[in-house]
Every structure is written in structure tokens, then in C-alpha cells.
Structure 1
Amino acid sequence: MKKLYLPSLRGIMGDWVYYPTLMKLKDIAERVKIAEEIYQTKTLSEMVQQEIKRKRGKEIKDYLLKQEQRFFNSLIVAVHEGDPNWHEITRLKSNNQLDSEDIPEDVVAGIGILSLNGEEELFTLDGQHRLMGIKEAVAEAPHLGEDELSIIFIAHRTDLDGMERTRNLFTTLNKNAVRVSKGETIALDEDNTMAITVRRLVSENSMFMENRILNNATDNIPKSNQTCLTTIGNLYDLLSVLFTKVYVISKKKTFNNRKDELTKVRQPDHILDEHYQNACDYFKRLTDSFLPLQEFVNTSDNSTVVKKYRHPEGGSVLFRPIGLQILTEIIAELVEKYPLSKCFKMISKLPTDLTQMPYNGVIWHPTQKKILTKDKTLVKNLLLYMLNHFSRDVDKLRDDYAKAIGIEIEEVELPKKVL
């Protein structure tokens, strides 16, 4: 490989000396490897590489290929062998805005050029998924190779102490990486279709504007809240079901592939508009199907309606995030067989009072007066049974229901069918 000269800084943190540089993607793809040197066996190294490729390589490749505003944070790369050299720039030229005599010596001492003769072994300590995506993207679209990415180089030694030291750094970097929270995704993510649509709904759709939705990334609504229909986190979850199972625009065949497409790569504006319109259509149909939701949407005093349908004695399942989730998942199952208009006509026949079957004792605790979440799927199945659309084992359904409400199976009666 040819010799490379990279613009570089030099820094010290703890007992590590490191060199932040800029490197073209084509050079990264050609020269940098997965961190196999630090693994104790070839089998372990191969296992890690397969796991990285299986999980994220394609997602990141697609991001690089499709996103004009692509951007990554730095890769951290260990270097050994070859002849890496850092060359300090000792003289800086003055200009109209900068007098080199004013620059402290320690600043000048940290600016230089890093040279690599091409025989070095370079491997990632942080950024393995990004590296795999870079390799695949550059192979498919060579013009991406001219993009530049910041690389932080550190020195690696191959003796036992050096291997252990580098492994410890590798583990620390990857173990302490903080996953982006759901709330941060909803508030900030410009690639995630559900997040983008949530933000637009709370800005433009009167059903979810201002105090009609709670700014909470979970499904928890405090007892003190008497104005919101649901939470932002629940709205995000509903859209995830709608866009992957009900209003399917993607040509991807599997649920996971469709979800990846909606979360990893920003869709064109006209597709985002279509998703937004589909979301509005869904909530309009849902509202038209249930009188309590019509009251909520049409009133200027939403607190009066919320107090009527969400209170310590129970109220309507429609005013609980778990209820909206269950109904949306039911629609997702029905739409596989029926037109959407018929699906809503069917669910409009379902009961909504939490103190009645099939909710009481299953997702509503009648004595503790609180929502229970662990048997959400059971309630969904009971409602599907009531709609005459439950195709699984009815005896097991009866057994599960008996256990949930705490009676013998011989005594239990399934809810009456409404269709």
C-alpha cells in the first residue's frame, strides 16, 4: 500500500497518547480491520465479526448510500507494526487574523502530520459496525470513498501486557456506550419515520396538540393528569404498528426489515407525507368508531371528558395507553383479512369499560384500582375471540383467562361474542 499522510493532532489522556486524524473512506475500507488481534482465539474473532456483520453492517451501508446528510462520529483505531510516525509542525505562518507569535507552544506542539507507510496493522476498538458498513458501501458505490471521517489512532503493543491493556480499552469503550433513549429518538431523530410523524402530529393534529398528549416517553400517565388522551411514547408505539402492519408503504417483506427501513434511513418527503396522512386517517377512523373519542376531539374542555373516562374507578380502555395499543394490534390482525373500513366497524362493537369483561381482572385490578400490563396479549386474544376472529386454541384461551382472574377453569366463561 502507498504511504499516507494524514492531518493530525496529538493528545494525552490518562496514560494513553492518541492522534485524531482525517482519513478518506476508501483508505479506511482498504486498511482498517475488525479488532481480531485482541481476541485470544481465531474462533472468538470470527464469531465477533459474524455478529457485527449480521447485526448492523447492512443498515449502516444503506445509511451511507441513501443519506445525503450522512455523518459519523470518530472511529477509534489501534495501530501497530509498520512505521507510523507523527511529525510535529514547528512553524506556523501568520496572517491577517492570526499572529503565530501569540500561539502557546503547547498548542503548536499538538499539531502535526501522521504518516503511515502501508505496512501497519490497523483495527477498530470502537466503531466496528460503522467500519463494516463503510467497507460494504464503498464496495458498492466507490465515489463514497472520497468522503472523510475522523479517526482517533492509539498505539497497540502485541506483548501480553499490551494485549490486555488494549482489550480493556475495547471493553470500556463498548460497554459504556449509552443507547439513545426512546425520548431522545422521538424528540430528535430525523431518520426515524415514527419519530418524525409523532412530532408532526403534536404540532398539526388537534387531537394531540398542547395538553391533549403527555410529553412522556413511557406509557405512564400520572393520576394527577386530567387532560391528555395518551403519551408521546404510546403514540410512537402505535405508529410503529400502523406503519409496519396496517398502512404498509414499504416493499420490504418482513416486519423487522420494514421497521429497520423506517428507523434507520430517512424516507423521501412525499413518503413521510403519506405516512402522516395515514396516521391522521387512522385516528380519524378510530375516533369515528367510539363516542368517547368523539367527545374528546370535539370539546374545548378536554379535562371534563378525560375525568369522565379516566378515573380511579376505571373508565374507558380508550383513555389508557394499553387500550389504544391493544386496539391497534387488533386492527393489524383484522386488516390481513378485511378491508380497513370493515375492521373499524368490527371493533366499534367491542366493550370499552375497564370494569367489564374482558378487561376486569386481566388488565384492570378491581381492588387496587390500577392497570396491569403483563396480560395485554390475553386481552387482545379475548377481544379477537369476541370478534369471531380467534383462530388459535380456545381451550388454552379459556385456561389463560381462568388463571388471570383467579378461578377454576371449570367455572370460567369466555366473554360473549359480539359478531
Structure 2
Amino acid sequence: MADYVPALKAKMGDWQYYVTVMKLGKIARECRIAEEIRPNRDLNELVQREITARVEKEMVPYLLKESQRFYGALVVAVYGGEPEFSPVTVDEHHLLDDTNRSTYGFGLLRFDGSQIYYALDGQHRLRSIQKAIELNADLAKEEISVIILKHEETPAGLQRTRRLFSTLNRRAKPTTAGQNIAIDEDDIVAIVTRRLVKENDSIKSLVSIKLGSKQIYQNKYDYPYITTLAAFYETNEILLNCYEGGLDIDKNFKQFRPSNDEIDTYYYFLEKIWIRLLQKCPGFESILNGRRQPGDLRKRTENNGTPVFDDSGKPIAGGNVFARPIGQFIIAEVLKAVGVQGRSTDEAIDAIMSNISMDIDQAPWVGVIWNPSAQRIIGGKAERAMIASIIIHALGLKIKRKVRELRQKYRETLEDPKAKLLPPINWSGRPDSVSSDNEENVSGAEEEY
């Protein structure tokens, strides 16, 4: 049976294509992925990549739950069907040029019914549409724009189509993490991160709005800041995990925008933590009142606060670990454990800032995440986790490893067989009774730390 599709005829390069609109139901029924058309006949003929689990975990729920759902155009190749385009003359509108009324590409694209479509770009969207309609048949009535290209069933045609697929997919540049933070209106972490930077005067002056990096460097561009937008986002994601005993901040949680009341709640929760951290962290009072800049805190100083210079007269890097993203990550991980274990984050912040040196040239930072000779950050997530565990242990809370194993790893990292963990911190959130470190993953009354 012949199939007529209203379309616009267009050309770019040596590709002739047609732009149309189709019901989701028609797309779900008639469009396929390449594996279904030519299942593993030859690797050189495969023009599709593997469909990932992201379809069911993220995309199908998006179609089912989001009232503002929208997909960009599918690019589909069609073979068979003997397509034939019949232009339709447009002559009734006064805005069209009298001499070119029949050249605007309006028309009908006719297929004889034997055509087969497959998704050249949008195979994940196609699969999610098919699965979502199985769960909600009403979606079949909705529409999506479709770009149709003719596919030639020859070796040269397959190569040509495969090359276009590669161009549309492999070479397509996705948005960066920083760009996603700047524009995402569903990800709760991105929403509250932007709002903190926009609305809180103390915080926004300390966050560098550069999208491509989590690093803060000791140069004139980063000197006024303690973190970047991307690093601030990561820290907030960690901190939100301790909200009311622990949120599960995964991709699914960040996929759907919460209510405005929930957004307000998360915003004020994070704002309170950040303000307390900035107020309690040694050295930050002068930053908040504008007498100094964060870059001043990233310099090694004498006990009286005087900067230390090398032989060439250049200030030696060091100073406050919390003036760097890595220090914020670690403190956030500690507060996450505090919140998950039902303790007060406010009291924990006070205890940490009063009892643990924030000097990056001191324990527990030096030699683990900081090389004082090279004056640079070292280590990665494993080292961050180690220091977080050391601080959590000092607070008397549960950690995810045996204390003796933590101590041994710390000594190996420092290459010091006598290195001690931090001594216990007495604070109101400390458990009343703790066992020794022989078997339990809990801070105890050790003879050495």
C-alpha cells in the first residue's frame, strides 16, 4: 500500500534529504535499528552502535513523566519503497516571490509500502519511544520531526551511510559537564549550585565561573577564588548526600526537577553548611570581610601569618587546604558520613575546624594530597578517601575499613612506619561508647594514633 508523507525537500553537500513530521506510533512501528534489519551479517555493514541501558533508566522515564518532554529530530535512512517526491505549488500567499512559487520544496514523498526505515542518528531516542509507548499508548499520538535520507543497498551505499553515521555520532561533541551545570533545569544539584552562586553574596564572590576545569591555580585569574563552578557542583553533590540522613544522589534523582519547595529546602540546607564552613575555617574571616583574597590563603606562612619566600623571592605555595577544591571535597565527604550516621553537621564543622589543622603542610594533608617540595596537589580519589576516613575516625564515627588497615595505608603513603592517625576529637556528636580497632570499623581508645 502506498504511503504518502508530507515533506520539505532540501540539499546539503551531496546529500539530498527530506524533512517531515511523523507520529511517534508510526516511528515506533516502522523504524528499526540496524541490528534488527541486518543482524551481524558483516561488521563492515553495521551502522549502529550498541543501545545502552540509559534508555530504560533515564529516557523512558523522561517520556512517561515529563510533561515538557521534547526530542530533537531523528535522522533516518530509508531503503526500498521507491521513494518519489511530488512538489506542491504554493501560489496563494502574497509573501512568496511570484517567480519562485513552485521552488520552495513543499511536497509529498511517496513510498510504495516496501520501504524500511532505520535510525541513523537517534537510535536511543527511537528505542525509548518504542518502550515508552508499550507503557503508555497515548504517546503514540504525539509527533516528532524526522529527517529522511535515501540509503542505497550497495557496498558503496553502505560505506556512504556508515560514514554519515560516524559523523553524526562519533564526531558529535557532547556538552561539557560545566555547560550542563550552567543550563540544566532538571538536575537538582545544578539548580541549587547556580542559585548559590547567583544569590549568596559571600559564596558567589568565591566561585570562578569557568566551565572547563575543577582546578584552582595560583595565578591572577584564579587568585580571587577558592573553587570553580564544576568543583562547587561536585562538592554540593557530596553534601546533599547527608541531607536528613542521606539522599541517594544518582542519575535518576537528578533527571527530574523537584518541586519549588524541595528546591528551596535543598538550597537553604547547602547555604547553611557553606556559610558555617566559611565562618569557622581559620583565615576566612579576612576573606569574607574583603581584607584579603583567597590566593593569599594558598601561600605558606610563618606563625605570625607572614608569607614565606623562596630564594628567588617568589612566595612558596601551601597555606589553607580549604582554599582549594580538594580540601572542600574531603570536608564534604566527612560531613556526608556525619549526616548519614545521624550526627549534627553544624557541630561536626565546629569540631573539625577547631581541632584539625587546615594548613596543607601539616597532617593529615601533607604527603597524601600535597607535595611540599613540588608545591603541588598530588594523589586522587583514593587519597581523598583516606584523609576523609582519618578525620571521620578522629570524630569517633564508623569508617568503611579497619582502623589498623587505615593506619597501615597512611604509613605506607607517607613512607613513615611510625606515622600516627589523628587523635580522637571530643565533641557532642561523638558516640558514648566505642570499641577498639581490633575488628570494628569504629574509632576507639587506641594507645597510639
Q: Which digits, 9 at most, give the CA deviation of each residue in 1:206-230, with x for residues without a partner?
A: 2222x32211232222312332232
Task: Name the structure 2 match of 1:261.
Answer: 252
Tell me: higher relative CO, structure 1 or 2? Use CA pairs within 8 A at least 6 residues apart: 1
Q: Aligned equivalents of 1:270 and 1:115: distance in 2? A: 52
Question: Does the residue aligned with 1:264 lie in a helix, a strand or coil?
Answer: coil
**2:192 touches 2:263 (CA, 8 Å); kept in 1?**
yes
* Aligned match of 2:85: 86
Tell whether the 8 Å contact from 1:67 to 1:266 is kept in structure 2 after alignment.
Answer: no
Q: Is contact 1:293–1:318 with CA below 8 Å preserved after alignment?
A: no
What's 1:40 paired with?
40
Aligned match of 1:190 in 158, 164, 185?
A: 185
| 8 Å contact from structure 1 (residues 81, 121) kept in 2 | yes
Structure 1 stretches lacking a partner, 5+ long: none
Q: Which residue of 2 aligns with 1:124?
A: 119
Taking the aligned partners of 1:337 and 1:196, their CA distance within structure 2 comes to 26
Deviates more, 1:176-185 or 1:215-224: 215-224
RMSD: 3.0
Alignment partner of 1:115: what SS? strand
Superposed displacement of residue 204, structure 1: 0.8
Where structure 2 has 5 or more consecutive residues not aligned to the other structure, the ranges are 300-315, 427-449
Q: Distance in 2 between matches of 1:83 and 1:45?
A: 22
Letter in 2 for 1:52: I
Q: Does 1:404 align with 2:413?
A: yes
Aligned length: 400
Give the match's secondary structure for 2:140: helix
Moved segments of 4+, more than 6 Å: 42-46, 248-251
**Structure 1 residues 40 and 168: CA distance shift in structure 2, 3 A:** farther
Gap change, CA 1:371 and 1:394, over 3 Å in 2: same
Name the CA distance, whole Å, in 2 between partners of 1:22 and 1:60. 21
1:51-62 → structure 2 map (5 Å cutoff): 51-62=50-61
Query: 1:403 deviation in Å?
Result: 3.7
Following superposition, the deviation at residue 324 of structure 1 comes to: 0.6
1:370 Cα deviation (Å)? Answer: 1.9
My pick for the range that moved more, 351-360 or 110-119, is: 110-119
Identical-pair percentage: 29
1:39 Cα deviation from its structure 2 partner: 5.4
Query: Aligned partners of 2:244, 2:122: CA distance in 1, in Å?
Result: 33
Residue 386 of structure 1 corresponds to: 394
Q: Is 1:326 the counterpart of 2:335 in the alignment?
A: no
Alignment of 1:17-416 (within 5 A): 17-36=16-35, 37=37, 40-41=40-41, 51-89=50-88, 91-99=89-97, 101-103=98-100, 107-108=103-104, 110-209=105-204, 211-217=205-211, 218-223=213-218, 224=220, 225-243=222-240, 245-247=241-243, 255=248, 258-287=249-278, 289-297=280-288, 299=289, 301=290, 304=292, 306-311=294-299, 312-341=316-345, 342-348=347-353, 349-374=355-380, 375-389=383-397, 390-405=399-414, 407-408=415-416, 410-416=417-423
- How far apart in 1 are the matches of 2:121 and 2:344? 47
Cα separation, partners in 2 of 1:38 and 1:19, compared to 1, 3 Å:
farther
* 8 A Cα contact 2:245 2:341, kept in partner: no
Determine the C-alpha separation between the residues in 2 that align with 1:276 and 1:44: 52
Q: Relative to total residues, which structure has the larger helix share, 1 or 2?
A: 1
Most deviating of 141-150 and 180-189:
141-150
Asked if the contact 1:58–1:133 (Cα under 8 Å) also holds between the matched residues in 2, the reply is no
Secondary structure at the residue paired with 1:221?
Answer: coil
